[in-house]
Protein backbone atom coordinates (compact mmCIF):
# COMPACT_ATOMS: atom_id res chain seq x y z
CA UNK A 1 0.00 0.00 0.00
CA UNK A 2 1.38 3.41 -0.94
CA UNK A 3 1.44 6.46 1.30
CA UNK A 4 1.44 10.13 0.34
CA UNK A 5 2.29 12.97 2.69
CA UNK A 6 1.62 16.31 1.04
CA UNK A 7 2.54 19.77 2.35
CA UNK A 8 2.13 18.72 5.99
CA UNK A 9 2.78 21.35 8.65
CA UNK A 10 2.50 20.90 12.41
CA UNK A 11 2.68 23.43 15.24
CA UNK A 12 2.72 22.56 18.93
CA UNK A 13 1.96 25.34 21.42
CA UNK A 14 2.34 27.89 18.60
CA UNK A 15 5.80 26.59 17.71
CA UNK A 16 6.17 25.26 14.16
CA UNK A 17 7.74 21.78 14.38
CA UNK A 18 7.15 20.53 10.84
CA UNK A 19 6.91 22.84 7.83
CA UNK A 20 5.42 21.89 4.44
CA UNK A 21 6.75 18.34 4.23
CA UNK A 22 5.88 16.10 1.29
CA UNK A 23 7.00 12.52 0.75
CA UNK A 24 5.80 9.46 -1.13
CA UNK A 25 6.33 5.78 -0.36
CA UNK A 26 5.74 3.08 -2.94
CA UNK A 27 4.09 -0.22 -1.95
CA UNK A 28 6.58 -2.57 -0.32
CA UNK A 29 9.31 0.04 0.12
CA UNK A 30 11.26 0.48 3.35
CA UNK A 31 11.74 4.23 3.65
CA UNK A 32 13.96 5.76 6.29
CA UNK A 33 13.35 9.09 7.98
CA UNK A 34 16.64 10.33 9.40
CA UNK A 35 17.90 13.53 10.97
CA UNK A 36 19.33 14.91 14.21
CA UNK A 37 17.35 15.04 17.44
CA UNK A 38 14.63 17.67 17.34
CA UNK A 39 14.32 17.72 13.56
CA UNK A 40 10.64 16.71 13.64
CA UNK A 41 10.82 13.03 12.67
CA UNK A 42 8.57 11.67 15.43
CA UNK A 43 6.15 14.56 15.03
CA UNK A 44 5.74 13.75 11.34
CA UNK A 45 5.14 10.08 12.14
CA UNK A 46 2.38 11.04 14.57
CA UNK A 47 0.46 12.69 11.74
CA UNK A 48 0.57 9.41 9.83
CA UNK A 49 -0.76 7.21 12.63
CA UNK A 50 -3.36 9.77 13.69
CA UNK A 51 -1.96 10.95 17.00
CA UNK A 52 -1.37 14.53 15.86
CA UNK A 53 -3.55 16.21 13.26
CA UNK A 54 -1.60 18.52 10.93
CA UNK A 55 -2.67 22.13 10.70
CA UNK A 56 -2.06 22.03 6.96
CA UNK A 57 -1.61 19.36 4.31
CA UNK A 58 -2.83 15.78 4.28
CA UNK A 59 -1.74 12.17 4.69
CA UNK A 60 -3.20 9.56 2.34
CA UNK A 61 -2.85 5.81 2.73
CA UNK A 62 -3.88 3.80 -0.30
CA UNK A 63 -5.52 6.94 -1.64
CA UNK A 64 -7.64 7.53 1.49
CA UNK A 65 -7.16 10.45 3.88
CA UNK A 66 -6.08 8.79 7.12
CA UNK A 67 -8.00 11.38 9.14
CA UNK A 68 -11.25 10.33 7.46
CA UNK A 69 -10.84 6.64 8.32
CA UNK A 70 -12.49 5.16 11.38
CA UNK A 71 -10.17 4.28 14.24
CA UNK A 72 -10.84 0.59 13.56
CA UNK A 73 -10.03 0.83 9.86
CA UNK A 74 -6.91 2.87 10.60
CA UNK A 75 -5.73 0.19 13.05
CA UNK A 76 -6.29 -2.51 10.44
CA UNK A 77 -4.12 -0.67 7.95
CA UNK A 78 -1.35 0.76 10.11
CA UNK A 79 0.82 -0.92 12.72
CA UNK A 80 2.93 1.27 15.00
CA UNK A 81 5.90 0.75 17.30
CA UNK A 82 6.92 3.95 19.08
CA UNK A 83 9.80 4.85 21.38
CA UNK A 84 7.81 5.76 24.48
CA UNK A 85 5.72 2.81 25.65
CA UNK A 86 4.27 2.36 29.15
CA UNK A 87 6.25 -0.31 30.99
CA UNK A 88 3.73 -0.99 33.73
CA UNK A 89 1.33 -3.16 31.72
CA UNK A 90 -0.37 -5.63 34.04
CA UNK A 91 -0.42 -8.19 31.25
CA UNK A 92 1.62 -11.19 30.25
CA UNK A 93 3.71 -11.14 27.11
CA UNK A 94 1.16 -13.26 25.28
CA UNK A 95 -1.70 -10.96 26.30
CA UNK A 96 0.18 -7.91 25.02
CA UNK A 97 0.75 -9.56 21.65
CA UNK A 98 -2.89 -10.70 21.48
CA UNK A 99 -3.92 -7.05 21.59
CA UNK A 100 -2.74 -6.78 18.01
CA UNK A 101 -5.74 -8.84 16.91
CA UNK A 102 -8.25 -6.34 18.36
CA UNK A 103 -8.93 -4.44 15.09
CA UNK A 104 -9.93 -7.71 13.40
CA UNK A 105 -12.43 -8.84 16.03
CA UNK A 106 -15.84 -7.84 17.29
CA UNK A 107 -16.14 -6.39 20.78
CA UNK A 108 -15.83 -9.09 23.47
CA UNK A 109 -15.13 -11.78 20.83
CA UNK A 110 -13.00 -14.65 22.10
CA UNK A 111 -9.68 -15.57 20.57
CA UNK A 112 -9.85 -18.12 17.78
CA UNK A 113 -7.38 -20.83 16.86
CA UNK A 114 -6.19 -18.56 14.07
CA UNK A 115 -5.56 -15.74 16.55
CA UNK A 116 -3.62 -18.06 18.83
CA UNK A 117 -1.52 -19.43 15.96
CA UNK A 118 -0.66 -15.92 14.74
CA UNK A 119 0.43 -14.89 18.25
CA UNK A 120 2.63 -17.97 18.66
CA UNK A 121 4.22 -17.48 15.24
CA UNK A 122 4.93 -13.79 15.93
CA UNK A 123 6.55 -14.53 19.29
CA UNK A 124 8.73 -17.15 17.66
CA UNK A 125 9.82 -14.76 14.91
CA UNK A 126 11.09 -12.25 17.47
CA UNK A 127 12.64 -14.97 19.67
CA UNK A 128 10.22 -14.45 22.56
CA UNK A 129 8.23 -17.69 22.40
CA UNK A 130 9.54 -18.84 25.78
CA UNK A 131 8.24 -15.70 27.50
CA UNK A 132 4.48 -16.21 27.02
CA UNK A 133 3.53 -16.02 30.71
CA UNK A 134 6.12 -13.47 31.81
CA UNK A 135 4.68 -10.15 33.00
CA UNK A 136 5.47 -7.51 30.37
CA UNK A 137 6.63 -5.11 33.08
CA UNK A 138 9.49 -7.45 34.10
CA UNK A 139 11.14 -7.50 30.68
CA UNK A 140 14.25 -5.60 29.67
CA UNK A 141 13.96 -2.67 27.25
CA UNK A 142 15.04 -4.80 24.31
CA UNK A 143 12.68 -7.62 25.21
CA UNK A 144 9.76 -5.20 25.45
CA UNK A 145 10.60 -3.83 22.02
CA UNK A 146 10.54 -7.29 20.48
CA UNK A 147 7.18 -8.06 22.11
CA UNK A 148 5.71 -4.84 20.72
CA UNK A 149 6.96 -5.73 17.24
CA UNK A 150 5.31 -9.13 17.62
CA UNK A 151 2.07 -7.33 18.51
CA UNK A 152 2.33 -5.38 15.25
CA UNK A 153 2.95 -8.58 13.27
CA UNK A 154 -0.30 -10.19 14.45
CA UNK A 155 -2.11 -6.98 13.52
CA UNK A 156 -1.29 -7.79 9.85
CA UNK A 157 -1.12 -4.15 8.77
CA UNK A 158 -0.53 -2.76 5.28
CA UNK A 159 1.79 -0.06 6.62
CA UNK A 160 4.41 -0.27 9.37
CA UNK A 161 5.41 2.84 11.31
CA UNK A 162 8.54 2.22 13.36
CA UNK A 163 9.98 5.02 15.48
CA UNK A 164 13.51 4.02 16.42
CA UNK A 165 12.70 0.28 16.72
CA UNK A 166 16.33 -0.62 17.45
CA UNK A 167 16.82 2.01 20.14
CA UNK A 168 17.06 -0.37 23.12
CA UNK A 169 18.37 -3.45 21.36
CA UNK A 170 21.81 -5.04 21.36
CA UNK A 171 23.59 -5.39 18.02
CA UNK A 172 22.33 -8.94 17.41
CA UNK A 173 18.69 -7.97 17.85
CA UNK A 174 19.09 -4.70 15.95
CA UNK A 175 20.12 -6.65 12.87
CA UNK A 176 17.55 -9.37 13.52
CA UNK A 177 14.63 -6.94 13.77
CA UNK A 178 15.66 -5.00 10.66
CA UNK A 179 16.16 -8.24 8.71
CA UNK A 180 12.67 -9.20 9.81
CA UNK A 181 11.22 -5.87 8.71
CA UNK A 182 12.94 -6.13 5.32
CA UNK A 183 11.56 -9.63 4.83
CA UNK A 184 7.95 -8.73 5.54
CA UNK A 185 7.37 -7.02 2.21
CA UNK A 186 5.16 -4.42 3.93
CA UNK A 187 5.31 -0.72 3.15
CA UNK A 188 7.42 0.68 5.99
CA UNK A 189 8.28 4.15 7.28
CA UNK A 190 11.03 3.97 9.87
CA UNK A 191 13.09 6.47 11.83
CA UNK A 192 16.68 5.51 12.60
CA UNK A 193 19.57 7.31 14.25
CA UNK A 194 22.18 4.86 12.97
CA UNK A 195 23.02 6.01 9.45
CA UNK A 196 24.77 2.74 8.61
CA UNK A 197 21.64 0.75 9.47
CA UNK A 198 19.63 3.20 7.36
CA UNK A 199 22.01 2.70 4.43
CA UNK A 200 21.88 -1.08 4.81
CA UNK A 201 18.14 -1.63 5.20
CA UNK A 202 16.30 1.31 3.60
CA UNK A 203 15.39 1.61 -0.07
CA UNK A 204 15.01 5.36 0.12
CA UNK A 205 15.82 8.08 2.63
CA UNK A 206 14.32 11.41 3.62
CA UNK A 207 16.66 13.61 5.65
CA UNK A 208 14.98 16.05 8.03
CA UNK A 209 16.54 19.20 9.43
CA UNK A 210 14.71 21.83 11.48
CA UNK A 211 11.30 20.52 10.49
CA UNK A 212 11.92 20.38 6.76
CA UNK A 213 13.23 17.89 4.19
CA UNK A 214 16.91 18.67 3.60
CA UNK A 215 17.54 15.87 1.09
CA UNK A 216 16.02 12.69 -0.29
CA UNK A 217 17.00 9.77 -2.45
CA UNK A 218 18.67 6.37 -2.40
CA UNK A 219 21.09 6.03 0.54
CA UNK A 220 24.29 6.22 -1.50
CA UNK A 221 23.13 9.30 -3.38
CA UNK A 222 21.80 11.03 -0.27
CA UNK A 223 24.39 10.42 2.45
CA UNK A 224 27.10 12.55 0.91
CA UNK A 225 29.98 13.91 2.91
CA UNK A 226 28.68 17.45 2.51
CA UNK A 227 25.19 16.56 3.74
CA UNK A 228 26.54 14.65 6.73
CA UNK A 229 28.71 17.60 7.69
CA UNK A 230 25.88 20.10 7.32
CA UNK A 231 23.06 18.12 8.94
CA UNK A 232 24.78 15.83 11.45
CA UNK A 233 27.83 18.02 12.20
CA UNK A 234 30.37 15.22 11.80
CA UNK A 235 32.70 14.21 8.99
CA UNK A 236 32.48 10.80 7.33
CA UNK A 237 34.70 8.47 5.36
CA UNK A 238 32.70 6.58 2.72
CA UNK A 239 33.51 2.89 2.35
CA UNK A 240 31.75 -0.30 1.21
CA UNK A 241 30.16 -2.82 3.55
CA UNK A 242 32.30 -5.97 3.23
CA UNK A 243 29.39 -8.42 2.89
CA UNK A 244 26.39 -6.32 1.78
CA UNK A 245 28.10 -4.25 -0.92
CA UNK A 246 26.30 -1.15 0.29
CA UNK A 247 27.46 2.17 1.65
CA UNK A 248 29.24 2.08 5.01
CA UNK A 249 30.25 5.22 6.88
CA UNK A 250 33.09 5.80 9.31
CA UNK A 251 32.44 8.90 11.38
CA UNK A 252 35.08 11.31 12.64
CA UNK A 253 34.72 14.67 14.40
CA UNK A 254 34.75 17.77 12.28
CA UNK A 255 38.10 19.51 12.40
CA UNK A 256 38.21 22.17 15.06
CA UNK A 257 39.24 25.66 13.93
CA UNK A 258 42.95 26.25 14.39
CA UNK A 259 43.80 28.43 17.40
CA UNK A 260 45.24 31.84 16.62
CA UNK A 261 48.06 33.70 18.33
CA UNK A 262 46.06 36.90 18.48
CA UNK A 263 45.55 38.30 21.97
CA UNK A 264 42.01 38.25 23.33
CA UNK A 265 39.84 41.26 22.65
CA UNK A 266 39.68 43.50 25.74
CA UNK A 267 36.32 43.38 27.50
Rounded CA separation 18/12 (Å): 9
Domain ranges of the chain: 3-221
The reported pLDDT for the residue numbered 225 is 95
Q: In 3D, which of 125, 249, 111 has the Cα closest to residue 193?
A: 249
Q: How far apart are CA 127 and CA 148, in angstroms?
A: 12
| pLDDT of amino acid 46 | 94
Q: Could you tell me which of 76, 8, 13, 14 has the C-alpha nearest to residue 46?
A: 8
* pLDDT computed for residue 22 by the predictor: 96
pTM above 0.95, yes or no: no
Look up the CATH superfamily of 3-221. Answer: P-loop containing nucleotide triphosphate hydrolases (3.40.50.300)
Burial of 248 per CB tally in 10 Å (0-12, 13-18, 19+): middle
Q: What is the pLDDT of residue 5?
A: 96
Distance CA 141, CA 145 (A): 6
- Model pLDDT, residue 261: 45
Query: Residue 18: its pLDDT value, please?
Result: 96
Q: Can you list the residues of the chain whose pLDDT is less than 70?
A: 84-89, 108, 256-267
Among 201, 202, 203, 205, smallest CA distance to 214 is for 205
Amino acid sequence: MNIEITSVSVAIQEKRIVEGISLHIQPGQVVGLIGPNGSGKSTLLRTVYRMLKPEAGYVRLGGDDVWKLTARESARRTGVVVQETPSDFEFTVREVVQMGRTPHKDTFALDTQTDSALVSAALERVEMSGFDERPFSTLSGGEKQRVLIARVLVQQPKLLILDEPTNHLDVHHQLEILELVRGLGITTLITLHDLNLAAMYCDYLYVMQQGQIAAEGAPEATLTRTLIQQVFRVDAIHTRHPSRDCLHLIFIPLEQPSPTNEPPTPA
